[in-house]
Every structure is written in structure tokens, then in C-alpha cells.
Structure 1
């Protein structure tokens, strides 16, 4: 089986010029005011929360030796698959706490404010960190309970915060981390030492950290059995987070919902994504087929560079979105107050 890691085609493309901050604010504000907008976000949105993006400003992987574990490797029931799971879960065990403890940044809060004001009815995110949900629930916890937030935010590539065994049993990630700690007291002590020292492993967007440079072996890491399978008198250590791995298909219901979100909106806004994965790129293609306006806010090369139908703002989202949200929210408030005075 041959599965490739998504990359950006590097054919000769025109360089997208930088825009000034005032110009970017005006163009994005005008775009959002022109209709109901579905927003598609990528790893770049979470960088300011301390979660490292896969790619740098040149569009290439920052870790040139990036070697992800593929879906078929993680669920392999042979001894080889067992070794892959040891590697994955040790790295993820150490890398998950920084993702769990990450806090939303200005981009998340700005989008949450626009979503709360119904300017952005829906967000589709490629991120698995849950930070869009955190921001929305912090802005208005009584309105945006977890179920309501899930209706407004589609996690295209799943979430790190739940774990599922290959028999379909699901548990929360925090509880699974406790199981991993209990099964690996040495590694639990190591993780506690990292926390006490203030050392924070640099996590990839999927919660994975590179630890090979520390001379660490995966051989003594134990992956526990699924507790529900044990109750059914069956041992089963084959788990994966509810994240879409390389080589794994997106569930049909998620795919269909992503297309519906594009079809229901007036326009599509892309933020912090290179669109290297086809699951995201096909949504852009669908929007263009439907003749919907598309704007991209991102620094560096993307898969859609050179497509004349797409407006691109080559600027970081964090310095633009707050000002755009403030301008739109202030204008809406002023209009509301004027209406009340008539």
C-alpha cells in the first residue's frame, strides 16, 4: 500500500504580494459584510496558542524528517502494528497535555465573536485541538453549550479529545491519559518532571511530539486494553484518537455536512490553511463550482495560489481578525442603538 503525505504543488506560481494592515482590514471587512460566510480554518489559526503548524512560511514541512504514522499502521493487529501503537501513544501521551491546556488566541476569539453575531454562521476546521469550541463557550457559555457548539463547528479531521478502540467503544481523552499513566508509571513520572520543570514539548497540530533525539526507546511503553472490551471478556489494545490519520477516509456524514455548509453559505473564507489536504481543497473547488466568492487569509504558499477566482490576503490572521471583528461588531451595535432611538 502506497500512501503519500499531502504536499503543495510547487509549480511556478506568481508571488502573492503582501498587503498593508489597513488594506487587509478593509478588504476582509467588506467581504464579511457582503453575505453569510462559512469559514474554513487550518493549523495556522492555532500557532499563536503554542501549537506548532506543520508548515513554515515557505509552505514546506518545518520538520523535514516528518514521518507520520498512517492509519493502516496504527490499526494493524500484528506485532508490527503493536510497535507502531507504542510509538504513537508514547509520543501522544507526552504531547497531548500542551494541546489540552492550550488557550484560544485572538483569532479564535474574533471568529467566535463573529459567529455569536451570526456574521459567520458556521466554521469548518481542519484542526483537532478544540480551541474554536473553547473560544465560543467562553464568549457566551449559556448559549454555546457543547452540543450547540458542535452544531456550529464542524471538525473535518476529528478531535484529539476522544479515543476509540477498533470495536467502536469511545472514552474521553483525559480518562485514557489516566489509563496510560497507570500502565506506565515510569513515563508518568517523566511527564510530571517535564511539567514541574516548566519544559513544554513542542506539539504538532495532532498532539504528536518528536522525542527520538532524547535517545528514548518505545519498547517499554504499554498501551492498555480497552476497558469496555475487557468487560466483554476480550482484550483489545488497539485504540486511536478520533482524528483522521493519513490514509484514513473522512466519515461520510462529516464529508456530506462539509459540503452542505458550503452550499448554505453565500461565500467561503479560508484562514491559516495551505489547503494541502484534498478534504479541504475539494470544499474550495465546490464553492467555486457554485460561483461563490472565496477569500484566503494566510501567509506563504498555498494550493490555490494562482487561481484568479480567489482573493488572497498574505498576512497573519491574528493581527487582522480582531480589528475586523471590532469594526463589524461596533457597526452592528451602533445600528441597533440607532434603531432603538427611532
Structure 2
């Protein structure tokens, strides 16, 4: 089986988006949104101001050159080799979960939430698995909502291969109880502020620590044990590389685009085809499509797509104020547009020195 990680050209193949000032970009995005009934598609760039690092930098390159994702068939393999893959995945995810759980919505999340609440953009599709769009609308992460479609799933639930589901906080407790040395390491890094590089899927980079995954214990499923079998194959409710998006999710994503009059794409390179095909579908249907993103993307070669090369956080609050007009001054919009953290990830190109369990 050969499965490749989706990429975009390292160097932009197409001419860059026309230069725009912040004011001009604000006016154009507001103008695009004003007719209403807009579908929004978001990616990892939307959560950067919340402290969750995007996979790719401004030039489209992976910012962690050692990034090697675990594929679906590897995670679900019941052999000894599969258990080793799960040790690697769950150790890194165990260490990264606190960062994801602690993350708070930023102004882009709240701005888009205000557009949803006002009915300007009633449907939102996100590739992100962090639950921050839900939080901005005061919906608990992991709770299904008919107006927010998590295209690639959510980190907030875990299920075993036999379908038993637990919330992530419970599963994190299981991991902690089975791995006290790694719990102590996590507490030490939190205490000292030596945070690890966290990817959008909650995975952390620990290659520089020179550690082994061999001593990490992946817990057995208690429900399976009560049913008379041993099973340590657990998977977060996210779509892995090499795994197909559930058919119902795929159909709903197309329906969101088809029921809208236009599509706004925010903070994504569209490297995964599950997202890119939604842009293609909007174009096929003749719907105006605007891409707001920093750097090159897979959508650059689609002639009908209007592009603005700018971070959404620079303009989104003023965009929404312009679209909502006087309504922006009353609740809940006033509070929404005054909310949001702005804590982008620190430059960690030189990893901090930390001790590690062996």
C-alpha cells in the first residue's frame, strides 16, 4: 500500500495575489460577504493566533521538516508493529493534548461566529480538529452542531476499534495512570514553560529529545475487557492520512457549498483534496469564491478564485463590523467582536533543553 502525504508546490507556481493594503482587503472581504448566504471553509491558519501551529509556513513548506504522520492502516494494525505505531502516536498526542485543551478562540473564530450567528454565513466547514469554532459560539467542543461541519473530525472523543467511545479527558486520564513517568514529564514541561512544538492535530515533535516510545503503555479498552476480549486499538475521532472521510460528512460538506450563494475560504493551503474539492465544486456551480490565506495554496491555479494574501486576524474584526453595521454595537455581537486571544506560537526553531523519561 502506497499513500502519500498531500503537498503543495514549495514555490508558488502561479503569480502571487495582487498586493492589497489592510484597508483595501478589509473593504473587499466585507463587500464579498454583504450579500449573505456565504459558506465558509477554514483551515489550520485560522487557529495560529490561538497558539496552535500550522503545518506549513508562508512559503508552503512544512515548518517541521521531520514531520512523519502515522497513517490509518498503521494505527489500526493489531500486530506488534501496529502497537509500536500506537505507542508513538499516543505518547506524542498525550503530551500535546494539554496545549489543545487549553487553547482559546481568537478574533477570527469570534468574527466568523458572529457572521454565523447573524445569518450572514450560516454554514461553516472546518478542517481543524481543535473545537475552537464551537467554543466561539459557546458550544462544547466535540458536540455535533448542524451549522459547523468538522470535515476531519474532532480530537475531543476517542473510540476503540470495536466502537466504544469515551471523551478525550477520560482517555487522557487512562494514559496518565498507565504512564506516571510521562505524566511527571508533562507536568515538568508545563511548570518550566518548555513547551513542545504542537501540530494542529495535537501531535508534538519530540525527535530532538532522543527518546524511545517503547516504554509507553497504551491502555486496554475497559468496555472490551468486560465483553471478554483484550483490545488496545484506540483512535481519536479524526481522519488520518490514508483514511476516507465518512460518506455522510462528505455529502454534508457538498451540501453546505451547494446551498450557499458564495464561498469564503480562510486560512488554508487546501493541500488535502477533501477541502480542495469543495472549492472546485463552488467554482463548477458558478459561485463567487474568495480565498483569504497567507502564502501559496492549491487554489492558486483556479482562475475563477479571487485571492487575498493576508492573515485573517489582521482584518476580520473590522470586516465583521462593516458587514453588521449598527448591529455590531449590540449584544451578543459587541462582546464577540471584543473577544479572542492573540497568542501565536513562539519561534521554537531551537528546541529548549528538557529532561525526559527514558
- Does the aligned pair in 2 maintain the 1:45–1:107 contact within 8 Å? yes
Cα drift, residue 145 of structure 1: 7.0
- Does the aligned pair in 2 maintain the 1:107–1:318 contact within 8 Å? yes
How many correspondences in the alignment? 329
Cα drift, residue 65 of structure 1: 2.0
Match runs of 1:47-126 below 5 Å: 47-126=48-127
C-alpha change, 1:30 and 1:11, in structure 2 (3 Å) is: closer
- Does the aligned pair in 2 maintain the 1:14–1:306 contact within 8 Å? no
Match runs of 1:72-221 below 5 Å: 72-137=73-138, 150-221=145-216
- Does the aligned pair in 2 maintain the 1:158–1:243 contact within 8 Å? yes
Alignment pair present for 1:301 and 2:302:
no
Cα drift, residue 146 of structure 1: 7.1
Q: Residue 338 of structure 1 aligns with which residue? A: none
Which runs of 5 or more residues in structure 1 are unaligned?
138-143, 335-342
Once residues 269 and 17 of structure 2 are traced to their aligned partners in structure 1, the CA distance between those partners, rounded to angstroms, is 13
Once residues 160 and 225 of structure 1 are traced to their aligned partners in structure 2, the CA distance between those partners, rounded to angstroms, is 19
Partner of 2:204: helix, strand, or coil?
coil
Q: Normalising by the residue count of structure 1, what TM-score does the alignment of the two structures yield?
A: 0.93
CA RMSD in angstroms comes to 1.7
Q: Normalising by the residue count of structure 2, what TM-score does the alignment of the two structures yield?
A: 0.89
Larger deviation, residues 11-20 vs 248-257: 11-20
Partner of 2:146: helix, strand, or coil?
helix
Q: Residue 14 of structure 1 aligns with which residue? A: 15
Q: Residue 29 of structure 2 aligns with which residue? A: 28
Partner of 1:82: helix, strand, or coil?
helix
Q: Residue 246 of structure 1 aligns with which residue? A: 241
What do residues 233-270 of structure 1 show as CA deviations (whole Å, max 9, x unaligned)?
Answer: 11100001001000000000000000000011110000
Cα drift, residue 169 of structure 1: 0.9
Alignment pair present for 1:322 and 2:323:
no
C-alpha change, 1:48 and 1:286, in structure 2 (3 Å) is: same
Cα drift, residue 81 of structure 1: 0.5
Q: Which has the higher helix share?
A: 1
Once residues 219 and 128 of structure 2 are traced to their aligned partners in structure 1, the CA distance between those partners, rounded to angstroms, is 27
Once residues 178 and 142 of structure 2 are traced to their aligned partners in structure 1, the CA distance between those partners, rounded to angstroms, is 33
Which runs of 5 or more residues in structure 2 are unaligned?
330-358
The correspondence for 1:292, drawn from 287, 291, 296, is: 287
